[in-house]
C-alpha cells in the first residue's frame, strides 16, 4: 500500500467517523431527553452545589464545576452512546453497517464522538451561563490543558460508549444496566463525592473510572498544579476501554453470524 493509498484510506476513515458523528448529533437534537441531560441536569446540579455550599474557595469551586461537568457528561454519554447499536438494530441499519467494507467500529466510535461533542458542548455552555450569572469565586483553567482534558473526556466517552453499546445489544436489561452505570459512577467515580469519603472496600473503584482521573487532572490544572500522572491514568484507562469495546464488538458480531442469536437485519 503506497502513501497515496494510506492517505486516501485515512480520508475515508475520517469521513466515516465524521459522518457518523454528524448523524448522531442530528438524532440527539431531535430527542427531548438530550435537553434534560445536557442542560437541565447540569444546571440543577451546579445550582445546588453553588447555592448550598458555604465558604467555597476558588479552588473548591473549580473542583465542583469540574465534577458537575464530568458527572453530567457521564450521564449523557451512557444514554447518548449506549443506545447507538440497539437503535441501529431497531432501525434495521445494523446489518448494512456490519457488512460494509469499512470497519463498523468506526461508525460506533464516530457516533460516540458526535454524542460526546454535542453533550459536552451543551453542558459547557450551560455551566458557563450559570457561572456568568452567579459569578462565584473560582480559579480559571489554563485553556490548553482544559482543551486536552475535554478532548480526552470526549475520547473516553466514545470508547466507553462502544463498550456499553455492545453490552446493550447483548442483554435485554439495558435500562437496568444503564441506571447502575450512571448512578454507580456518580457515587463511586469520585466526581461529586471524594473517593476518600467512600467506604474503604469501594474506594478503589474510582481508580478504574477514567473520568475520576480526568477530574483530578482538570481540577489540578485549574489550580496551577498540572497532574500529568492523572492524565496518563485517564489515557491508559481510555485505551483499555477501547480495547475491551473493540473485542466485545467483534465478539458480538461473530456471535450474531455464527449462532444467529442476534437478528441484525
Residues engaged in binding other proteins (CB under 8 A): 8, 11-12, 15-16, 19-20, 23, 26-27, 30, 91-93, 95-102, 104, 107, 256-258, 260, 264-265
Question: For residues 52 and 101, which CB has a smaller minimum distance to other proteins in the complex?
Answer: 101
Whether 126 contacts 50, CB under 8 Å: no
User: How far apart are alpha carbons 249 and 167 in whole angstroms?
Assistant: 9
Which of 171, 254 has the CB closer to other proteins? 254
Smallest separation (angstroms) from other proteins to the CB of 177: 25
Q: Which is nearer to other proteins, 92 or 184 (CB)?
A: 92
Label residue 34 left, alpha or beta by phi (over 0 means left) and psi (-120 to 50 means alpha).
Answer: alpha
Which residues, at least 6 apart from 41, have a Cβ–Cβ distance to it below 8 Å?
72, 75
Minimum CB–partner distance for residue 94 and other proteins (Å): 9
Helices (H), 30-142: 32-35, 41-52, 58-82, 84-91, 94-98, 104-134
Nearer of residues 50 and 98 to other proteins, judged by Cβ: 98
Tell me how far, at minimum, the Cβ of 255 lies from other proteins, in Å. Answer: 10
Give the Cα-Cα-Cα angle 24, 28, 31 (nearest 5 degrees): 150
Cell of 249: 464488538
> Toward other proteins, which CB reaches closer, 25 or 127?
25
Shortest distance (Å) from residue 254 CB to other proteins: 9
Q: How far is the CB of 7 from other proteins (least distance, A)?
A: 12
Amino acid at each position: 500500500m503506497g502513501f497515496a493509498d494510506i492517505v486516501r484510506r485515512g480520508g475515508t476513515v475520517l469521513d466515516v467517523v465524521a459522518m457518523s458523528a454528524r448523524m448522531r448529533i442530528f438524532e440527539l437534537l431531535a430527542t427531548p431527553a438530550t435537553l434534560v441531560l445536557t442542560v437541565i441536569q447540569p444546571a440543577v446540579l451546579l445550582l445546588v452545589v453553588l447555592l448550598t455550599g458555604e465558604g467555597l474557595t476558588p479552588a473548591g469551586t473549580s473542583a465542583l464545576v469540574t465534577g458537575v461537568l464530568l458527572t453530567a457528561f457521564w450521564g449523557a454519554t451512557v444514554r447518548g452512546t449506549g443506545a447507538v447499536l440497539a437503535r441501529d438494530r431497531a432501525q434495521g441499519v445494523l446489518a448494512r453497517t456490519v457488512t460494509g467494507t469499512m470497519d463498523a467500529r468506526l461508525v460506533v466510535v464516530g457516533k460516540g464522538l458526535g454524542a460526546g461533542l454535542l453533550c459536552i458542548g451543551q453542558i459547557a455552555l450551560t455551566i458557563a451561563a450559570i457561572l456568568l450569572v452567579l459569578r462565584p469565586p473560582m480559579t480559571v483553567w489554563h485553556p490548553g490543558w482544559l482543551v486536552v482534558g475535554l478532548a480526552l473526556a470526549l475520547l473516553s466517552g466514545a470508547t466507553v460508549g462502544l463498550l456499553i453499546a455492545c453490552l446493550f445489544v447483548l442483554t435485554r436489561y439495558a435500562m437496568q444496566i444503564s441506571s447502575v452505570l450512571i448512578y454507580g459512577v456518580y457515587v463511586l467515580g469520585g466526581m461529586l463525592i471524594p473517593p476518600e469519603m467512600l467506604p474503604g472496600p469501594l474506594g478503589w473503584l474510582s481508580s478504574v473510572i477514567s473520568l475520576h482521573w480526568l477530574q483530578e487532572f482538570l481540577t489540578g490544572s485549574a489550580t496551577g498544579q498540572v497532574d500529568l500522572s492523572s492524565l496518563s491514568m485517564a489515557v491508559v484507562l481510555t485505551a483499555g476501554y477501547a480495547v475491551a469495546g473493540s473485542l466485545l464488538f467483534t465478539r458480538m458480531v461473530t456471535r450474531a453470524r455464527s449462532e444467529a442469536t442476534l437478528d441484525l437485519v
